[in-house]
Structure 1
Amino acid sequence: MADVMSATVYVTYEGTPDSRFDRSYYVEHHLPLVMQAWRRYGLESVAAFFPLQMQVGTIAICECRFRNETAIEAAFGSPETPEVMADLSKFTDLAPTRWRAAAF
């Protein structure tokens, strides 16, 4: 039944206030690239969240909502994924961490 319901992936970036992370590029270019690349596989929406104050820890969170678990697997295994991953160096030097979330 988990495959029938929508599924969410959170991508987090951990760093410090001095870490390179171009928020404008992320929101204006990277997230539209993600949506364009993975919409056909079942990505329904993306959203970015940033802490109100810069501090050590999480400096950015992306929420990717997919149609279901199968859509996540299809998107991350797609031919478009290398282009999405290569774009990271344009806005940060930080390595992202992916988390799958399930609704209760």
Structure 2
Amino acid sequence: MTFTAVVVYPNEPDTTFDTDYYLQTHMPLVAKHWGPAGLKSWNVVKYDRDLAGTSPKYLIAATLVWESEEAVKAAVSGETAPIIFGDIPNFTNKQPVTLAGSTIGSQEIS
């Protein structure tokens, strides 16, 4: 069973977010340092609107899939964590909201 962490960034009037830096520098940095620690994959979604067509509460969400809960706990408290967390001010002026949990079901739809 995989363990998933979701990192979302607020979409507030004063939010700044450098999407190019995030995708080209930050996420490869995450993969480089946390891949060996058990990170299996990541994806990033940029929200343009919510389902009602209005401005979304969150601007960006990154989903990180880990081999286990223990792996993510070790990574976020390990020696490379300051590198990852210290890079946040390079692409945004907001602190992310983080969520984590075990995958309890999924289905591929063809």
User: How high is the TM-score relative to the length of structure 1?
Assistant: 0.88
Partner residue, 2:24:
28
Residues 52-61 or 71-80, more deviating: 52-61
Bigger share in helix: 1
Superposed displacement of residue 56, structure 1: 4.8
Partner residue of 1:9 out of 5, 11, 18 = 5
Distance 1:24 1:68 in 2: 29
Letter in structure 2 aligned against 1:98: T
Three-state SS of the structure 2 residue aligned to 1:48 is strand
Partner residue, 1:64:
64
Partner residue, 1:74:
74
For the 8 Å contact 1:11–1:98, the answer to whether it is kept is yes
Superposed displacement of residue 57, structure 1: 1.1
For the 8 Å contact 1:16–1:56, the answer to whether it is kept is no
Letter in structure 2 aligned against 1:99: L
Cα RMSD, aligned residues only: 1.5
What is the identity percentage for the equivalent residue pairs of Structure 1 and Structure 2?
Answer: 27
Distance 1:47 1:18 in 2: 25
Structure 2: gaps (5+ residues): 105-110
Q: What is the number of equivalent residue pairs in this alignment?
A: 100
Distance 1:77 1:40 in 2: 15
* CA-to-aligned-CA distance 1:52-82 (integer Å, 9 cap, x gap): 3482510000000000111111111110000
Structure label with greater radius of gyration? 2
Moved over 6 A (4+): none
